[in-house]
Amino acid sequence: MRRALLAITGLAASTTALVAFKGAPNASPVAQDLPAGQATATPGGAAPGGTSGPAPSAGPAGSPTARASATASPTPGARTSTSSGGTSTAAPRTTTTAPRTTAAAPTATTRKVTGPVISNEYGNVQVQITLSGTKIVNAVALELPDGGQSSLRSDKVDAAYSGTSGQVVQRQSANLDTVSGATYTSNSYKQSLQAAIDQAR
């Protein structure tokens, strides 16, 4: 259970990164301050080849951002929410008025869009987003490789090697501030989420 929590928190963090990311087509990195009170952000090592573009000078002007609403958490720290008039220098966050989506704007109907199942070495990942109008208000993973192949593999290893030199590698995680070594699943999560966002347009 703890593992699942850890995974979800990590994924939640990368979701915010990603959704914000989505808004800037020029692949310029998007800044977002999280209030420190929030759950630990385990940075999933994200996609290879995702963002190595010529980032820094990219003019953020006018890139609409789906960001703010994607964090499911209430953001108490005033500076984080751009809508509240605090002038922030991290430009891409400013919610420019017109999202580039269609005319179906103001009616705030809630709908859900489900991304495709993306497979990786460890199993399947599927993401579903909830939209209120054109805003993403939630993103959940319908399927994550919890247990699955990876545990099977690990259990086999445990069974085969207990008692020999070196201790058998075990799972351990409690109250971590961060994690060394990148994660694999986040890439699949990103792809499924991306597809869900594309479908929602």
Tell me the closest approach of the beta carbon of residue 114 to another protein, in angstroms: 21
Nearer to another protein, 14 or 126 (CB): 14
Tell me the closest approach of the beta carbon of residue 112 to another protein, in angstroms: 19
Side chain identity, residue 64: P
Residue in this structure with the two tokens 């209030």, named with its chain if needed: 35
Q: Is the Cβ–Cβ distance between 43 and 178 less than 8 Å?
A: yes
Q: Which of residues 62, 111, 176, 201 is near another protein by CB under 8 A?
A: 176
Tell me the closest approach of the beta carbon of residue 101 to another protein, in angstroms: 23
The 3-state secondary structure of 56-123 reads CCCCCCCCCCCCHHHCCCCCCCHHHCHHHCCCCCCHHHCCCCCCCCCCCCCCCCEEEEECCCEEECCE
Asked whether position 138 contacts another protein by CB under 8 A, the answer is no
Tell me the closest approach of the beta carbon of residue 44 to another protein, in angstroms: 6
Stretch that binds another protein, among 51-59, 62-70, 95-103, 111-119 (CB under 8 A): 51-59
Q: Is the Cβ–Cβ distance between 64 and 98 less than 8 Å?
A: yes
d(CA 41, CA 81): 18
Asked whether position 161 contacts another protein by CB under 8 A, the answer is yes
Asked whether position 105 contacts another protein by CB under 8 A, the answer is no
Q: Is the Cβ–Cβ distance between 145 and 185 less than 8 Å?
A: yes
Site string for another protein, 139-158 (x = CB under 8 A): -----xxx---xx-xx--xx
Asked whether position 52 contacts another protein by CB under 8 A, the answer is yes
The secondary element (H helix, E strand) that includes residue 11 is helix 2-23
Tell me the closest approach of the beta carbon of residue 109 to another protein, in angstroms: 25
